[in-house]
Amino acid sequence: MKVAVVGATGMVGEVMLKVLSERNFPITELLLVASERSVGKKLSYKDKEYAIIGLADAVAAKPDIAIFSAGGDTSLEWAPKFAEVGTTVVDNSSAWRMDPTKKLVVPEINANELTKEDKIIANPNCSTIQLVMALAPLHKKYKMKRVVISTYQSVSGTGVKAVRQLENEMAGVQGEMAYPYPINRNALPHCDVFLENGYTKEEMKLAREPQKILDDRSFSISATAVRIPTAGGHSESVNVEFENDFDLNDVRKLLNDTPGVTVQDNPDTNTYPMPIYAHDKDEVFVGRLRRDESQRNTLNMWIVADNLRKGAATNAVQIAEYLVKNQLV
């Protein structure tokens, strides 16, 4: 496969190259793409150096697959240009996710929807991916009615600038701010931009994307997204009301039997998921499984995953692997 990695110099781009290499993705030619600011800079992949090229040169090279992690505006403008020359685009931005003509894919859940005609495929939001990985098997068995979620999101979810802001603040150095307030020793109830309804865009992604991925609008989701000074992954406190009752041991077993999900849940040994231990892992970790004692058929849980891996790069590479395996590119 001739593969273009668009946004190769970014936070997700760096992990994308790592994941492609670890999983030995069948690459015959690799194009590393970023903004004009980075053209000519060198990056290495599997011990070989590559010079960064611009988007126009990458389109002219007609790659088989282009994996985009370069922001929504870049995707809106350039993904159609790649699609026009026959490239299949897997896009990490929010640009195409809710477009009814585009598929929103978590491979473990709905990769079977993909066809050769899908030239722009959307990767869901990082917090959505880890949420639906845990919700999908539970929904299938107990049928969700309503989900209430609060997130505790890593600065790596905002990109290079935000990680630098946290590092600067920890070192007591003045620098460029990615957030409107300090993030060290703080919690910002503000992820992505505010919308007219008073929610942030991140909260609305969490409310809308799961319904599309699970192809079911019968349940509702309400979200509060919070940025905290961690770097290893996103955490989520999730309350789910089901139509049908459940047994906690069955829930634990069901989640543990779900490919890509690992249960870490034992109060006796202080076992629960945490971002520093989820860092650099592909699994979605679930713990603190409890019955909500205030309401029937309702479960509380805590979900943690590395937002740069399963929340972005790993999920995108899994989509690309599915396309290759099923001869859809």
Ligand X SMILES: NC(=O)c1ccc[n+]([C@@H]2O[C@H](COP(=O)([O-])OP(=O)(O)OC[C@H]3O[C@@H](n4cnc5c(N)ncnc54)[C@H](OP(=O)(O)O)[C@@H]3O)[C@@H](O)[C@H]2O)c1
Q: Tell me which residues touch ligand X (CB under 6 A).
A: 7-13, 34-35, 37-38, 55, 69-72, 74, 92-93, 126, 156-157, 159-160, 307-308, 311-312
Q: How far is CA 26 from CA 22, 64, 321, 325, 328, in A?
A: 11, 11, 9, 11, 14
Residue 65 to residue 187: CA distance in whole angstroms: 38
Residue 112 to residue 224: CA distance in whole angstroms: 31
Q: How far is the CB of 289 from ligand X (least distance, A)?
A: 26
Pure H helices in 28-69: 55-60
| Ligand-binding site membership of 88 (annotated) | no
Q: Which of 126, 139, 191, 279 is catalytic?
A: 126
Nearer to ligand X, 87 or 92 (CB): 92
Within the chain, strands assigned E span 2-6, 29-33, 42-45, 48-51, 65-68, 88-91, 103-104, 120-122, 144-153, 220-227, 234-242, 261-263, 284-291, 298-305
Q: How far is the CB of 100 from ligand X (least distance, A)?
A: 20
Residue whose token pair is 């896009």: 91
| Joined tokens for residue 190 | 């503000």
Q: How far is CA 49 from CA 19, 31, 79, 301, in A?
A: 17, 11, 26, 44
Residue number with the shortest CB distance to ligand X? 10
Q: Which of 139, 190, 191, 234 is catalytic?
A: 234
Residue 247 to residue 297: CA distance in whole angstroms: 10
Q: How far is the CB of 27 from ligand X (least distance, A)?
A: 19
Nearer to ligand X, 102 or 144 (CB): 102
10 Å CB burial of residue 60 (0-12, 13-18, 19+) is: exposed
Nearer to ligand X, 14 or 265 (CB): 14
| Ligand-binding site membership of 156 (annotated) | yes
Residue 92 to residue 72: CA distance in whole angstroms: 8
Nearer to ligand X, 124 or 273 (CB): 124
Q: How far is the CB of 93 from ligand X (least distance, A)?
A: 3
Q: Is 191 a catalytic residue?
A: no
Residue 162 to residue 173: CA distance in whole angstroms: 14
| Ligand-binding site membership of 296 (annotated) | no
Nearer to ligand X, 31 or 251 (CB): 31
| Ligand-binding site membership of 309 (annotated) | no
Nearer to ligand X, 242 or 309 (CB): 309
| Ligand-binding site membership of 132 (annotated) | no
| Ligand-binding site membership of 264 (annotated) | no
**37 Cβ neighbours under 8 A, 6+ residues apart:** none
Q: How far is the CB of 169 from ligand X (least distance, A)?
A: 18
Would you call 195 helix, strand, or coil by DSSP? coil
**234 Cβ neighbours under 8 A, 6+ residues apart:** 126, 127, 130, 151, 152, 153, 154, 157, 275, 304, 305, 307, 311
| Ligand-binding site membership of 157 (annotated) | yes
Q: Is 126 a catalytic residue?
A: yes
Q: How far is the CB of 67 from ligand X (least distance, A)?
A: 10
| Ligand-binding site membership of 150 (annotated) | no
Residue positions forming the annotated binding site for phosphate? 97
Residue positions forming the annotated binding site for NADP(+)? 9-12, 37-38, 156-157, 307
Residues carrying an active site annotation: 126, 234
